[in-house]
C-alpha cells in the first residue's frame, strides 16, 4: 500500500471512531480561537480553558486587547507558561488586526502568519475550525509523531511534514486529519507506550511496534 492509499484508509477508519472533530480549546469566535491557540503553546488545553474566560471578559475583541497593557495581560496568562512572550505577541497581534484588518481576524494564511506569534500551525487551526477554510494541515506534537509512524513522512520538521501530507489527503479532509491524528494519538498511538494491538490502523502501519 502506497502512502496515498494509506492516507485514504486512515481517514476511512478513524472517522467512525472519532465522530466529533472540534478543538479541545473553548472558543466562540475566530478571535477567541486565535488567542487560545497562541496560549496553548507549551501548555495543556485544559489549563488554557481555565485562563481564557477571564481573558475574554477583560478583552472581548481585538480592539479591546489592542489597548491593553502588556503587564496586565501577563498577569492573566501567567499560568500558561512563557507568559511574557505570549502577552507581548497577543497585544501586538491585536494592534495589527486593528490597524490593518478593521479589528477582525484576517482570513488568509499570509495575513495570519504576519501576526506576531502566529505560525502556520496556529493559522491552520484558526482557518479550518473558525473560518471554514482549509489552507493546510496543522502539525502539532501528535500529528508529528503519527505522521512518521504511519509512513506519511520521513521528516520531523513540521513544515516539511505538512508539505508531505497535503498531497496525500483530499483538501476537504485537511482540517479533519489534524483532529483525527490528535485524538488517535491521545487515545491509542501514545508517545511512550503505543497500544498497537488495539489500533484500528495496525495492519496498515509500517512501523507497527516501532
Q: List residues with catalytic annotation.
A: 121, 140
Long-range Cβ contacts of 126-131 (<8 Å, 24+ apart)? 126/30, 126/33, 126/34, 126/37, 128/174, 128/175, 128/178, 129/22, 129/23, 129/33, 129/175, 130/27, 130/29, 130/30, 130/33, 130/34, 130/105, 131/30, 131/105, 131/107
Q: At what angle do helices 45-58 and 70-77 cross, to 10 degrees?
A: 140
Amino acid at each position: 500500500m502506497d502512502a496515498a492509499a494509506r492516507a485514504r484508509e486512515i481517514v476511512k477508519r478513524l472517522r467512525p471512531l472519532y465522530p466529533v472533530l472540534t478543538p479541545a480549546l473553548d472558543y466562540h469566535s475566530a478571535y477567541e480561537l486565535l488567542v487560545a491557540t497562541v496560549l496553548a503553546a507549551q501548555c495543556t488545553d485544559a489549563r488554557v480553558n481555565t485562563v481564557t474566560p477571564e481573558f475574554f471578559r477583560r478583552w472581548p475583541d481585538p480592539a479591546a486587547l489592542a489597548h491593553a497593557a502588556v503587564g496586565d495581560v501577563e498577569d492573566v496568562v501567567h499560568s500558561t507558561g512563557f507568559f511574557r512572550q505570549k502577552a507581548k505577541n497577543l497585544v501586538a497581534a491585536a494592534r495589527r488586526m486593528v490597524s490593518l484588518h478593521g479589528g477582525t481576524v484576517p482570513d488568509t494564511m499570509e495575513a495570519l502568519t504576519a501576526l506576531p506569534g502566529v505560525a502556520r500551525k496556529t493559522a491552520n487551526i484558526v482557518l479550518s475550525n473558525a473560518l471554514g477554510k482549509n489552507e493546510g494541515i496543522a502539525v502539532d506534537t501528535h500529528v508529528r509523531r503519527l505522521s512518521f509512524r504511519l509512513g506519511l513522512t520521513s521528516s520531523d520538521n513540521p513544515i516539511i511534514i505538512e508539505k508531505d501530507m497535503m498531497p496525500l489527503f483530499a483538501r476537504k479532509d485537511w482540517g479533519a486529519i489534524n483532529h483525527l491524528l490528535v485524538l488517535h494519538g491521545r487515545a491509542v498511538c501514545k508517545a511512550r507506550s503505543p497500544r498497537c494491538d488495539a489500533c484500528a490502523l495496525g495492519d496498515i502501519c509500517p512501523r507497527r511496534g516501532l
